[in-house]
Amino acid sequence: MGQIILRLDRVMADRKMSLKELSEKVGVSNVNLSKMKTGKISAIRFSTLEAICEALHCQPGDILEYVSDRDRRE
């Protein structure tokens, strides 16, 4: 089974946006955003994803990446 990888840290760096600034724009705590940045979550609400995409002016595919088991082995 493949894996979804969160690339929130990369998109935030590209936009030069801090965790604190994103937290204020999205209305999600620093702790929860930090967990998203490090990939230590098992789910994300669409409403949260929508708010993050709005704040970062990006698409969900910019933040989420699917990696298959075969790709990880290569």
Band (73; pLDDT cuts 50, 70, 90): low
For β-strands 3-6 and 64-67, DSSP reports them as: antiparallel
Summarised one tens digit per residue, pLDDT across range 4-60 is: 999 999 999 999 999 999 999 999 999 999 999 888 898 999 999 999 999 999 999
pLDDT exceeds cutoff 80 at 74: no
Structural domain including 21 reads: 3-73
Which CATH number characterizes residue 18's domain? 1.10.260.40
Q: Which amino acid is at 51?
A: A
Quick one: which H or E segment has residue 31? helix 30-37
What pTM was estimated for this model as a whole?
0.86
Total domains present in the chain: 1
Q: Tokens 């075969």 identify what position?
A: 70
In which band, very low, low, confident or very high, does the pLDDT at 69 lie, cut at 50, 70 and 90?
confident
Cβ pair 33, 23 in contact under 8 A: yes
- From CA 61, how far away is CA 64, in angstroms rounded? 5
